[in-house]
Amino acid sequence: MEGFTHLIPFAAGHEVIRQRRKYLTLIRMTPDLVYDQMIGMGCASRLVFSWGGNPGVGSLHRFRDAIEKEWPVPLAIEEHSHADMAARYQAGASGLPFAVLRGYLGSDIPKYNTSITSVTCPFTGEVLAASRALNPDVAIIHAQKADGKGNVLIEGITGIQKEAVLAAKQSIVTVEEIVEKLDAPMNSCVIPGWVVNYVCEVPGGAFPSYAHGYYQRDNAFCKAWDGISRDRNTFRAWMQKHVLDTGDFAEFRRSLSADRQVAHG
Amino acid sequence: MGDRAYTSAEITIIAAARKLKNGTVCFVGIGMPSAAANLARATHAPDVVLIYESGTIGAKPTVLPLSIGDGELAETADAVVSVPEIFRYWLQGGRVDVGFLGAAQIDKYGNINTTVVGGTYASPHVRLPGAGGAPEIATSSKEVWIILSQSSRTFVERLHFVTSAGQPRPSESLATSQKPLIRGRGPTVVITDLGILAPDPLTSEFTLVALHAGVTVEEARAATGWELKIAEHLEETPEPTVEELATLRDLMARTAEAHGQERQS
């Protein structure tokens, strides 16, 4: 799943949790709340990432608990930098076996990651970082619009989603709405329908992240998550009530707003 | 420090903002770097170019972003590009004057740790978010500024993990016969709540070059995990001007309101 602090596919992540998937290798440049939820519910045995935090708030407590205390299950990690992860997706999308970048100079990261090594430029002799291409089994992203043919339009901060879709063997795109005509401005970020396997209409599917042009991020939720996720039991109870005991994302939203109305009197 | 008319955080941000010259191209980290860069833009440096790793070039936010990918960054930017492009063409391409980073820990050469503290890499006592864009920002920018609170926990003799490289030690630069370890000048300044440090031209060791008003050398020494060297001509950071303080407080108040949080004092 990708979404660089925008258009994060929360609805899809919740469905993965509802279906009780286990032993997944999760890949994401910026694992944040939805990955914290998936990790805390034991969906993942491995995480490939470059920055794991709750942006502007602090730690991801479930991510930390999994790495520091192996709760609820051990989580193996493979860690890169942003520039490298982006280059690895590009290599994967380009059909190349590895990515090249001027990266990790003086950093300890490659010592702990066998997917990163070095390559010598055949023309200049410069030693550059080489990193294994990324070709996920499935890429899941969220976007603003798709048309009936599955052409997908992404607007605003486009992040790494296009590369993730093109690097993956299969792709699923959730969208705010399916429209008759995409009306995409020329040169905008459009992923043609014939490289997309599935499109699902899930209005609000990026909540509590945002969808440019549709709704803003729910910063209050991102802050509240710090408290919900800090304690294992509080976290489990919250996930049970709002995710496992709800049938879909719309029901999750209703369940959450009912709780919030109570909290605000 | 109790009778000052401003907080430690305020003088840190103001001292950092003053260093940013108008027209500088600055790759901005979230948090204190973003606060300082935007204060500079609102005061003496209206044409500073702010680049955030979410792909926003020339962002001109009216409130500080909570995350690196807030919608306002995209709306106010001169251009919004993909994540691979921001790292490849703009950062690695050598177009960034100042890479402005926060850090969890640094050592006397300006190496940064944002990965793990204590224990082992696989089983750390504290798991931090990881690298993000920092390893390549630290080595591809023409120079690097680091901003963080100074204490014996953050200024350490020996890092558990080097996420992003600092100044090469003199012995390393001599041993590296062909090419310097990093392309730019590396970290050239560290700004803290106590004062400002810069690398000694001979030893590359970060040395105290300025103290904020009311801070003593003893306090700075006590808040440093290595034997802190003091510059021969130790300067004092000028007190914040009325304009600087008012502008910063306005910015923080607008930010707090926009993100729906209690005003921080």
Query: Is residue A62, in this structure, part of any structural domain at all?
Result: no
Interface residue of A48, A81, A209 to substitute, partner B, most B CBs within 10 Å: A81
**CB–CB contact A220 B82 (8 Å):** no
Residue A123: its pLDDT value, please?
A: 97
Domain with A92 in it: 82-132
Q: What is the predicted pLDDT for the residue at B172?
A: 55
pLDDT reported for residue B178: 44
DSSP secondary structure letter of residue A12: H
> Distances in Å between the alpha carbon of B82 and those of A163, B54, B142, B158?
10, 7, 22, 36
Span A46-105, pLDDT tens digits: 999 999 999 888 999 999 999 999 999 999 999 999 999 999 999 999 999 999 999 999
Give the pLDDT confidence score for residue A260 in this predicted structure.
85
Q: List, run by run, the mean pLDDT of 10-residue segments along chain B (265 residues).
A: 82 98 96 96 98 97 91 96 98 97 96 96 95 97 97 97 88 49 84 98 96 97 98 96 97 90 40
Tell me, yes or no, whether A92 lies in a domain: yes
Report yes or no on A101 lying in a domain. Answer: yes
Task: Please judge whether B121 and A160 are an interchain contact, meaning their C-beta atoms are less than 8 angstroms apart.
Answer: no
Q: How many domains does chain A have?
A: 1
Helix or strand run (H / E) with residue A100:
strand A98-101
Chain B's closest residue to A100, CA to CA, is B88
Q: Where are the domains of chain B?
A: 8-256
Cβ atoms within 10 Å of B33's Cβ, excluding its own: 25
Q: State the pTM of this model.
A: 0.95
DSSP A81-98: -HHHHHHHHHHHHTT-SE
Q: Check if the interface score ipTM surpasses 0.90.
A: yes
- SS3 category, B200: coil
Average pLDDT over residues A22-30: 98
State the CATH architecture for B8-256.
3-Layer(aba) Sandwich (3.40)
Which residues of chain A does B74 touch, with a Cβ-Cβ cutoff of 8 Å?
6, 156-157, 212
Check residue A56 and give its pLDDT: 85
Domain membership of residue A153 (yes or no) is: no
- CB-based contact A157 B134, cutoff 8 Å: no
Return the pLDDT at A265: 57
Tell me whether residue B53 is one of the annotated catalytic residues.
Answer: yes
The rounded Cα A92 to chain-centroid distance in angstroms is: 17
**Residue A116 included in any domain:** yes
What is residue A258's three-state secondary structure?
A: helix
